[in-house]
Structure 1
Amino acid sequence: MFGRLRALFVSNDDGVSAQRRLQLAAAAVLAEAASLDGQVDEVEQRRITELLARHFQLSQAEAQDLLAEASVLAQQSVQLVGFARTIKDGFEASERIELIEMLWDVAYADGHLHEYEANLVRRIAGLIHVPDQDAGAARKRVMARLGIQ
């Protein structure tokens, strides 16, 4: 099981395209963010699916399948470093900032920011080299969009 995870995010010869690796890594950290408060509700799942569909230009069905696969990977993984490395190496700086904005969006999806969710977003921002200023601005954009003070 862990060998498959490692191969997915380290090896390039396992038949998984670089784009799919990025999609899975992004979806896995979003799934992890949604699960940190102890439950993943329908609102959070729907929000992640919408974000994935928009960001990666996927159909709703493709985004749902991606989320399902990434959720399994996130549950099987003991750490997020592999996912973060894939994102850091594969996304441009603006895409990494957009991912942080997506994470804030998921964290606020249920109307309540849990301290574990906030901590995860900050950790991921550091791992994928998004400066605090950019991560904070991403948070403010999400809060403004959702009407949160």
Structure 2
Amino acid sequence: MLKELFQAFRPKEPPSLPDPDAELALGALLVRVAQSDREYKLEEISLIDRILARLYQHNAIEAAKVRATCEKLHAAAPETDTFGKLIRETTSLDERLAALEALWEVVLADGAAAEGEVKIIEEARRAMGLSFKDSETARKKVEQQASEP
């Protein structure tokens, strides 16, 4: 009887997640990079929200809602290259380069690039059809922006 009582309060099915588009795929990759060091800090969460707002013209609340969906997608997510391929197949080269820069922003937010974070970026970069040179250029651009007052 107690078991039946608990089941009555549980949802019948877990809420379904939306099919990822390029925005959700990038958001999930940003979350994946931020969580790769097992420390998902408020600064990283805020940065992801700002990146989503900047790239997809969201206000702060919309960006936070998108990020929350991306966190769920990441948790239930396919491999990193699946998200990268989705971005490659649905966006222009300029948008893919902007996505790569956004990934580097999150990686370098704490001032250092951990090995696990770089591995995720490399998987995503290859899946997005971008070169190592593209990645180095994106990283340098992000580092330069961070050093400007």
TM-score tier (shorter): 0.7 to 0.9
1:72 alignment partner in structure 2: 72
Identical pairs, percent:
26
Residues 23-72 of structure 1 show CA distances to partners (whole Å, capped at 9, x for unaligned) of 11110001101000111101101111001100001111111000000111
Q: What amino acid is the match of 2:112?
A: H
Q: What amino acid is the match of 1:96?
A: R
Q: How many residues align?
A: 134
Which structure's CA Rg is the greater one? 2
2:126 alignment partner in structure 1: 126
Q: How many Å apart are 1:81 and its aligned residue?
A: 2.9
RMSD (Å), alpha carbons = 1.8
- Pick from 11, 15, 19 the counterpart of residue 8 of structure 1: 19
1:136 alignment partner in structure 2: 136
- Flag structure 1 segments of 5+ consecutive residues without an equivalent: 10-20
- Flag structure 2 segments of 5+ consecutive residues without an equivalent: 1-12
Q: How many Å apart are 1:78 and its aligned residue?
A: 4.3
Q: What amino acid is the match of 2:88?
A: K
Runs of 4+ in 1 over 2 A off after TM superposition: none
Q: TM-score, normalised by structure 2?
A: 0.84
